[in-house]
Amino acid sequence: MQAGDCQCLKTSAPKKLFRIGEVSQLTGVNPHILRYWESELQILTPNRRLSKQRLYRQADIDLILEIKHLLEEERYTLQGVKQHLSQKHLKSGNAAVAKTSKAMPLPSNDALYACMQDIKEELKSIRDLLTD
């Protein structure tokens, strides 16, 4: 089973964003498991409203179904799923990731970049203190 093979998620009026409860019903994965996967697998990154509510795209749902398949049917560990998905996206030239990020940019990337810049500046300060 591939992530895109599930025809049960295709609706006549395509919905663009789904809340975590809807995704849970569609995929059969409990919301707390979805949140855990999000924290462990950095590739699963639903968008968020200003109220911090998760909003999943169809690409996210397809990814969840693929993760579920790898864990339950292929018997991968979570670490194995991470490695498999990383290799898959590298081989495909990150086409899936690029496609989803182009369709809807993730605001968390800006925050992550700012945090990385702060860390970089802090490390430079530490290096300067050590070299003096």
Each residue of 11-36: pLDDT tens digit?
A: 444 678 999 999 999 999 999 999 99
Q: Domain count of the chain?
A: 1
Residue 37 lies in a domain: yes
Reading the block at residue 72, the tokens are 């339950």
Question: Could you read off the pLDDT of 73-127 as tens digits, one per residue?
Answer: 999 999 999 889 888 877 766 554 544 444 444 446 667 777 788 889 889 888 9
Residue 123 lies in a domain: no
Residue 45 lies in a domain: yes
Plot region of 75 (φ>0 → left; ψ -120 to 50 → alpha; else → beta): left
Model pLDDT, residue 66: 95
Number of H helices, E strands in the chain: 6, 3
Residue at 82: amino acid letter: K
Residue 12 lies in a domain: yes
Residue 68 lies in a domain: yes
Residue 118 lies in a domain: no
67 pLDDT tier (thresholds 50, 70, 90): very high
Residue 90 lies in a domain: yes
68 pLDDT tier (thresholds 50, 70, 90): very high
Between 69 and 91, the higher pLDDT residue: 69
Model pLDDT, residue 113: 77
Model pLDDT, residue 34: 96
Domain of residue 59: give its range.
3-105
Phi and psi torsions of 56, nearest 5°: -100, 140
Residue 125 lies in a domain: no
Provide the CATH number for the domain around residue 79: 1.10.1660.10
